[in-house]
Amino acid sequence: MRVEALMVALLFGGCTGSGEDTNRSGFPPADRPVSDIISSQFSDEETRDRLNEAETVMDMADIEEGMTVADIGAGNGYYTVRLARRVGDSGRVLAEDVIAETRDRLAERVTRERLDNVSVRLGEFADPKLPENSFDRIFMVHMYHEIESPYEFLWNMRPSLRPEGLVVVVDADRPTNRHGTPPDLLRCEFEAVGYHLVAFREMPDAGGYFSMFAARGERPEPQSIEACGQD
């Protein structure tokens, strides 16, 4: 691993969280079911590449060389390795998962494929613990429905975006207990924490939809956040 990449890995690996300390009881619980984590990948990579999934999503997200991107819930690294190629040597990718074994397998893949612009770390279910003011894009692909405390998670994640940074969500349009998130519910939960929907497109070939959010205004106090219901 190059010296520059090692420095980035140390920076990301040592970050202690972007949000202010807060009691979890200060956030409203999710007023909807949560899907279990049953697999480290949504589908096999060959099938996803035949559908041109990653390239399509990265194009819609305007991923360019030199960007810094976080891949949250990275799993086996389908997006991680493709983001690494797209951002190039001058860009950086932080890949994160909450399952230690999955994180370790991904770290082995990153080393094996010599992805010197990628660092891998373990996140937490309610806090990705990302460094502040660091990311042009944060990817959350086919994993949002697995977040048990969405308001706390999104609140803690928000300061890690750069001023023009965006959050990219790809998910299926079905109930959260069936490994998807209805678009209206997704938008409501993001807006409750001070994000604004800036793009939405159907992606039937990729098993769902693409959406993109920007942080707007002040981050609300946890006690003022109102939970969204799922019909």
| Entry pTM | 0.87
Q: What is the 3-state secondary structure (H, E, C) of 13-26?
A: HCCCCCCCCCCHHH
pLDDT for residue 205 = 75
Distance between CA atoms of residues 117 and 91, nearest Å = 7
Q: Which two tokens stand for residue 146?
A: 């697995």
Each of the 231 residues of the chain gets a pLDDT tens digit; together they read: 443 443 344 345 444 444 444 444 599 999 898 888 664 455 689 999 999 999 999 999 999 999 999 999 999 999 999 999 999 999 999 999 999 999 999 999 999 999 999 999 999 999 999 999 999 999 999 999 999 999 999 999 999 999 999 999 999 999 998 999 999 999 999 999 999 999 999 998 777 999 999 999 999 999 999 999 765
DSSP string, the chain: --HHHHHHHHHHHT---SSPP--GGGSPPPBS-------S-SS-HHHHHHTTHHHHHHHHTT--TT-EEEEET-TT-HHHHHHHHHH-TT-EEEEEES-HHHHHHHHHHHHHTT-TTEEEEE-BTTB--PPTT-EEEEEEES-GGG-S-HHHHHHHHGGGEEEEEEEEEEE-SS-GGGT---HHHHHHHHHHTTEEEEEEEEEGGGTEEEEEEEE-SPPPPGGG--PPB--
pLDDT for residue 37 = 66
pLDDT tens for residues 102-114? 999 999 999 999 9
pLDDT for residue 38 = 61
| Domain residue limits, the chain | 54-218
pLDDT for residue 1 = 41
The superfamily in CATH containing domain 54-218 is Vaccinia Virus protein VP39 (3.40.50.150)
pLDDT for residue 14 = 47
Q: Which two tokens stand for residue 38?
A: 């049953």
